[in-house]
Structure 1
């Protein structure tokens, strides 16, 4: 008589492969290549449908407008464009105006600086270098150059545009310089200057020489005093003597000028 089998009866769920739901779960967790491709295609199709729907909705917004409404929309856009263009042109004009004003201010400032430099040189406040002439006046035989002859010489040089005059390397001759005839020479701004007199002048050499040499001019006067005069044109010479600047005690600049 066969022995009874004590092993539990195998159920369908215990067989290899399991139930259908188990297979479905495993398929979802491990999709095949074909399933992946199908999913991607479906996603792209869905995205295209959404885009088309949105575009259709946007077009339908304008489709529902009357012709006059569309004209009003276009006119509004045109007006906005025109206002924007006008604002751009206004800002451009403002920019150009500011640039012009800045350039004008820069030019005026440079002109003011140049004028200050010129006045500083003419006032004898700074040493200068430039082309010019050297005049040497030598007394001899007991003769003396008169104060009048020296003043005429300086005045003629100023008249033709001498920019700097120096006497014997010691005294800067400017508009306010004083001359006095004293024993042994000339007292120039309180400094005794003795012969021979060496006058260094910065300016156009040809013009300066002409101011000395013309008929009945400085040369004729000095030689008439019994002295000799020699003129040497130089491409460059130094005028190192300066005038001490004095502060005005009473005069002040005019604020309106």
Structure 2
């Protein structure tokens, strides 16, 4: 047995270790983060022998010994916490997207239902709604302009008291005309209803005409019969069918032909009466005739006697 066999203690030659990783020309690895060549080993940390002769028990922990159990538990908890944070962020994003989706569906359903109601309406109804909205918008714009002018005058200082008195007088006159307690004069129309031979003018047709005129911006109205009797038309006026083609208006009997005198924008009211399927078309379908005449000065002289209120009281 040679000296080499004797130095190994096994009787066999010592196996040659793996070559250390060197540079391209056998030089040390030039990378700054390269591991120490002495720390490299061909064995895994579990298979690396402890310091000693390899046959006896290990007396210390080498560099390849695994970490303690506490270190492993801490690593597992850290990874679980990172996954939990990622899961919480994803859950919040999903919740926000679900809320936005629900809101969008609700708005879509509401819009669809509204559009369906308008789509099911007749052409005559749509035209009537359009004219009513335009007339209402025009009146509201006029009211806004008048109120702004009144506010400016009331704040003008020395003319404030006089402006307030004039404004109160104007408002009283307007309310008197609307309530039918004051006569009125202005441009407007004279709408004449002539019954046919087969069917008289019904209270429903006259009421439809009054509603159309109100929607077109009528400010004052009265209805007259063939005997020159007149009744002021206000918010509480009612119409009933009487005997022999007559009408009962607010308890007073009127005979035909009937004439409604109205004050307002003549062109707008004429258009409202002549819309397809409107009052003129309905009376013509019953065999009657409606004649609409422009009046530069229409007089509404009939007055309405107010009734004492029994139940309604003003709010303090």
Structure 1: gaps spanning 5 or more residues: 1-98
Residue in structure 1 matching 2:170, options 114, 132, 148:
114
Partner of 1:181: 241
Partner of 1:229: 290
Give distance in 1, aligned partners of 2:307 and 2:157.
36
- Structure with more relative contact order (C-alpha pairs < 8 Å, separation 6 or more): 1
Aligned-residue offset at 1:214: 1.4
Given that residues 179 and 189 in structure 1 are in contact (C-alpha distance below 8 angstroms), is that contact kept between their aligned partners in structure 2? yes
Give distance in 2, aligned partners of 1:191 and 1:100.
49
Matched, 1:249 2:305: no
Structure 2: gaps spanning 5 or more residues: 1-154
Residue in structure 2 matching 1:193, options 254, 268, 274:
254
- Larger proportion of helix: 1
* 2:276 match: secondary structure: coil
Aligned-residue offset at 1:194: 1.6
Given that residues 145 and 226 in structure 1 are in contact (C-alpha distance below 8 angstroms), is that contact kept between their aligned partners in structure 2? no
Aligned-residue offset at 1:113: 2.0
User: Which stretches of structure 1, 4 residues or longer, exceed 4 Å deviation after superposition?
Assistant: 99-102
Residue in structure 2 matching 1:219, options 256, 260, 280:
280
* 1:233 match: secondary structure: strand
Aligned-residue offset at 1:180: 1.0
Q: Flag the structure with larger Rg.
A: 1
C-alpha RMSD of the superposition:
1.9
Given that residues 239 and 247 in structure 2 are in contact (C-alpha distance below 8 angstroms), is that contact kept between their aligned partners in structure 1? yes
Give distance in 2, aligned partners of 1:111 and 1:135.
33
TM-score, normalised via structure 2 length: 0.47
Give distance in 1, aligned partners of 2:156 and 2:281.
56
Give distance in 2, aligned partners of 1:182 and 1:233.
29
